[in-house]
Amino acid sequence: MGNFLPMKLVAPVAIAASLSVCTSTAIAQDRAGEEVPREKQDKDSPFSAEFSVGLEYDSNINVDEIDNNTGSNDKAAAINADLEYDLDLSSDTVLSLGYNFSQTLHDDFTNFDLQTHFVSADLSHDFGDVEPGIAYRFIHSRLGGDGFLTMHQVSPYVSAFLSEKFFARADYTYSDKNFLGRIDRDAENHAGGVDFYYFVDGVKTYFVAGYKYANENAVDPQFDYDAHQFKLRFSQRFPVGSRDAELKLGWRYEARNYDNITPAIGVARDDDRHRLQAELEVPITDVFFARAEYEYGDYSSNLPTADYSQHLLGVHLGAKF
């Protein structure tokens, strides 16, 4: 929610744990889209766990999923727990099970406190040249202590090494989103994409580039949209004493075009979203670590409540087992 070290293809814990003011959909997308092939990983036990607590600052408290933007800043305590277990069904077939819990507790905007439960199961088989699989994810979140969003995802995928240093992964994801008390926002989402990895020096230094197309159909047609999403990511491990620290830098861009007129503005909505991310994790002992994170979001839209910028900062202390 350590990072990049589970035996199966699972997203790094830091993405979902950090900046947990993000909504459940964003968490699910991040977790599903940042993975490292099994052959590049090193894990002694099929079970792994990570726990962390921290403080976060958000320059603009908002809920992106429902276009709720306060324009005000706040601080929050953050709690995260992540559990993963890899079960070898055969020498080439692996079932990975995961559970993540995250909670933010704001200082002033307590109605924006977000609690998320994320359950996943991933089954894959290694045929040698290619490795197909299918993942199921269940996400349930509460906002301000009340039920907010429940989402189911099913995602078949296939991955393969194109050479010793190049790796590719293609996937399709079906999402069923149900908002409590906001039936007009309930939606089905179909998305397909591909990620390309270039390993300069194993997982010590590598790059990721990806593209995804998404189509969402909501109960209320004003929320239907098509989206093109692009991402770039860089990861670098470097020695700090006898252990390795890890620096991650990332950029994400989404061009979202809505299909129908938004009544509030009288025209079809058009969004462009940029996110810049930086994360530094430093080991304190073999178990304990410190992590600092920063994210800048530039959200441009002709809908005023969705047009804003945001700075997110977080500092966390945690333990990995």
d(CA 61, CA 312): 10
Question: Of 196 and 3, which is predicted with more confidence?
Answer: 196
**Could you say which DSSP state residue 3 is in?**
T
Mean pLDDT of the chain: 89
> What pLDDT is attached to residue 48?
95
pLDDT score recorded for residue 17: 34
Domains of the chain: 13-320 (2.40.160.10)
Q: What is the DSSP letter of 204?
A: T
| pLDDT above 60 for 106 | yes
Give tens-digit pLDDT for 256-315. 999 999 999 999 999 999 999 999 999 999 999 999 999 999 999 999 999 999 999 999
The residue among 18 and 287 whose pLDDT is bigger is 287
Q: Provide the pLDDT for residue 147.
A: 95
Contact between 126 and 104 (Cβ < 8 Å): no
CA distance 175 to 43: 31
pLDDT at residue number 165: 94
Residue 36: its pLDDT value, please?
67
Q: State the pLDDT at residue 87.
A: 95
pLDDT in tens, 111-159: 999 999 999 999 999 999 999 999 999 999 999 999 999 999 999 999 9
- Look at residue 21 and tell me whether its pLDDT is greater than 80: no
Residue 286, SS3? coil
Name every residue whose Cβ is closer than 8 Å to that of residue 205 and which is 6 or more positions away in sequence.
199, 235, 236, 237
Q: In this predicted structure, what is the pLDDT of residue 30?
A: 54
> SS3 of 221, please?
helix
Buried b (16+ CB within 10 A) or exposed e, 118-135: bebebbbebeeeebebeb
- Half-sphere exposure (CA, 13 Å, Cβ side) for 298? 6
Contact indicator for 310, 302 with CB cutoff of 8 Å? no
Does residue 40 contact residue 314 with C-beta atoms inside 8 Å? no
Long-range contacts of 226-229 (CB under 8 A, 24+ apart): 226/256, 226/257, 226/259, 227/254, 227/255, 227/256, 227/257, 228/254, 228/255, 229/193, 229/253, 229/254, 229/255
pLDDT for 69: 87
Q: Coil, strand or helix: which one is 110? A: helix
CA distance 310 to 205: 29
- Min mean pLDDT across 20-29, 60-69, 170-179, 227-236 is at 20-29
The amino acid occupying position 298 is: D
Q: Residue 7 — pLDDT band, cuts 50, 70, 90?
A: very low
pLDDT of 224 higher than 90: yes
Residue 57 · residue 73 · CB < 8 Å? yes
Cβ atoms of residues 135 and 155 within 8 Å: yes
SS (H, E, C) 10-76: CCCHHHHHCCCCCCHHHHHHHHHHCCCCHHHCCCCCCEEEEEEEEEEEECCCEEHHHCEECCCCEEE
DSSP run (H or E) holding 226:
strand 225-240
Residue with tokens 């905007």: 109
31-48 pLDDT per residue, tens: 544 566 666 566 678 999
Report DSSP letters for 293-306, one per residue.
Answer: EEEEEEEEESSGGG
